[in-house]
Amino acid sequence: DQQVKQNSPSLSVQEGRISILNCDYTNSMFDYFLWYKKYPAEGPTFLISISSIKDKNEDGRFTVFLNKSAKHLSLHIVPSQPGDSAVYFCAARSNTPLVFGKGTRLSVIA
């Protein structure tokens, strides 16, 4: 039972353009959402998060949007850079350990 779904396994974007990574969830009790970034042979690293009481959180080139009614969140990266090429995991929690999606592999092409 996948409570956190990332339906796009991969995404390719031109350098300088916007990258949009999507995530859907099924558990309406989730109250905190996070994005992690993972390079090969490394562990995931925290990127940005958002509480369920907000609909947007911005940190530099990274913005996370939350649509609670649709149970959907997205990560926007603008402008995309080659160093952003990695696997991005969406994660959520509700008084529980983090539940992760399967990840989306982002390739930023120079």
Partner 1 sequence: DTAVSQTPKYLVTQMGNDKSIKCEQNLGHDTMYWYKQDSKKFLKIMFSYNNKELIINETVPNRFSPKSPDKAHLNLHINSLELGDSAVYFCASSLTSGTGGKLFFGSGTQLSVL
Q: Minimal distance in Å, beta carbon 88 to partner 1? A: 12
- Cα distance between residue 24 and residue 2, in whole Å: 10
CA distances in angstroms from 80 to 12, 100, 106, listed in the order given:
10, 23, 10
- Residues numbered 86 to 105 that lie near partner 1 (CB under 8 A) are 89, 91, 93, 95, 97-100, 102-103
Toward partner 1, which CB reaches closer, 16 or 39?
A: 39
Could you say which residues in the range 20-59 bind partner 1, by CB under 8 A? 32, 34, 36, 41-46, 49, 51
Q: Report the candidate in 27, 10, 8, 6 with the shortest Cα–Cα distance to residue 86.
A: 10
Q: Which residues bind partner 1 (CB under 8 A)?
A: 2, 32, 34, 36, 41-46, 49, 51, 89, 91, 93, 95, 97-100, 102-103
